[in-house]
Amino acid sequence: MTATQTRPAPGATGSPVVPGAPRRARARNSMPYLLLAPAVLALIVLLGWPAVNVIVTSFRKLDLGELTRGEITWIGFDNYTEILGDPDFWTVVVRTVVFTASIVAATVFGALLLALLMRHVPVLPRAVLQISLLLAWAMPQLAATTVFQWIFDQQYGILNKTLVLLGFESFAGSSWFATGASTLTVVGILIVWQAVPFVAMTLYAALLGVPKDLYESAGIDGASGWQTFATITWPHLKPVLMIVTFLSILWDFKVFSQVWAIREGGPNGGSTTLPVLQYLEGIAGKHFGLAAAVSVLMVLVLVVVCAQYLRLLLRSQEVEL
């Protein structure tokens, strides 16, 4: 007769215990955190510590004299009181928010049209368009700013000369930088021109992920172009569109180089935005504590704007669900 042996279930009393198994399990579970630790530490050192220094500096009087003598003078919320009590600051805040919203909307709308165009044109025109977008995106900011200054120049700009040749005589010698609004319009066109390529290529990549079978089914069912876009293209494109819109808000809110290079926030401060104000108070005015307070307030404004955008985004997703 053959004796039948029953093997005890794992974890039951009398089951063999592998030496070091709990230790290896803990090591295996902690391995992802150990791999992420260097990156987290680098972010804390490179981003967290400077941010803390900016906040601490905003509570100090740190002008050129204090910086040279190495003095530490704590003044509490005096920097914030001075900034918030200045009516010009709130004008700059409203101008920055409106300017950011305008160029983000123009960027996303133009990029969406270009992405849809690349989706439907033949191979050769699409290649030419993509190369043109890549060249516009790769052009250095200051070089592009110089080109736009010549295009919109009052005397020698090609735009005024072209408009005059088309019969618009009133544009002869017209200055596009006479007011803050017109200056920001030129800056906005420049920013949109350089921002559209990245957003358009991202949306085009998202369009390539839409199954062609869905478009074929819509064509068989007799759906119009708008119906096809609303029921097929838009649902697949919306998540990517929301992401690039969010990124555009972050990037365009802190634009400095183009605004400063065009007219240094002029004329008469009419094109000054929050990043330019920060530079004028800190580097140009040598009021580093005041500039740090502007930086903190700028981050708070950006947090409020992004929070409102994320709230609307989450609400729209809840409605769809």
Burial of 269 (0-12, 13-18, 19+ CB in 10 A): middle
| DSSP code, position 171 | G
What was the pLDDT predicted at 186?
93
Look at residue 147 and tell me if it is in a domain.
yes
Look at residue 237 and tell me if it is in a domain.
yes
Distance CA 288, CA 270 (A): 23
Distance CA 10, CA 8 (A): 6
Look at residue 231 and tell me if it is in a domain.
yes
Quote the Cα angle for 132-134-138, to 5°. 120
CATH label of the domain that carries residue 93: 1.10.3720.10
Look at residue 198 and tell me if it is in a domain.
yes
Short-list 248, 256, 258, CA closest to 306: 248
Confidence of residue 308 (pLDDT cuts 50, 70, 90): confident
Residue with tokens 């699409």: 126
Look at residue 39 and tell me if it is in a domain.
no
Look at residue 4 and tell me if it is in a domain.
no
Examine the pLDDT at 215 and tell me if it is beyond 90.
Answer: no
Examine the pLDDT at 262 and tell me if it is beyond 50.
Answer: yes
If you average pLDDT over residues 29-49, what whole number do you get? 85
Name the least confident of 4-8, 84-88, 263-267: 4-8
Of the two residues 50 and 318, the one the predictor is more confident about is 50
DSSP notation for 105-151: HHHHHHHHHHHHHHHHS-HHHHHHHHHHHHHHHHS-HHHHHHHHHHH
Confidence of residue 1 (pLDDT cuts 50, 70, 90): very low
**Structure-token pair, residue 230:** 């609303």
What was the pLDDT predicted at 9?
52
Measuring CA to CA, how many Å separate 157 from each of 144, 152, 239, 261, 264?
Answer: 15, 5, 41, 17, 20
Examine the pLDDT at 242 and tell me if it is beyond 70.
Answer: yes
If you average pLDDT over residues 73-88, what whole number do you get? 89
Residue 286 phi/psi, 5° resolution?
60, 30
State how many domains the chain has: 1
Name the least confident of 18-22, 100-104, 262-266, 307-311: 18-22
Examine the pLDDT at 255 and tell me if it is beyond 80.
Answer: yes
Examine the pLDDT at 53 and tell me if it is beyond 80.
Answer: yes
If you average pLDDT over residues 216-242, what whole number do you get? 84
Q: What is the mean pLDDT of the chain?
A: 85
Look at residue 64 and tell me if it is in a domain.
no
Quote the Cα angle for 194-250-117, to 5°. 40
Look at residue 71 and tell me if it is in a domain.
no
What was the pLDDT predicted at 7?
54
Confidence of residue 5 (pLDDT cuts 50, 70, 90): low
Structural domain harbouring 198: 78-320
Of the two residues 216 and 291, the one the predictor is more confident about is 291
Measuring CA to CA, how many Å separate 71 from each of 68, 123, 291?
Answer: 8, 65, 18
Name the least confident of 2-6, 184-188, 305-309: 2-6
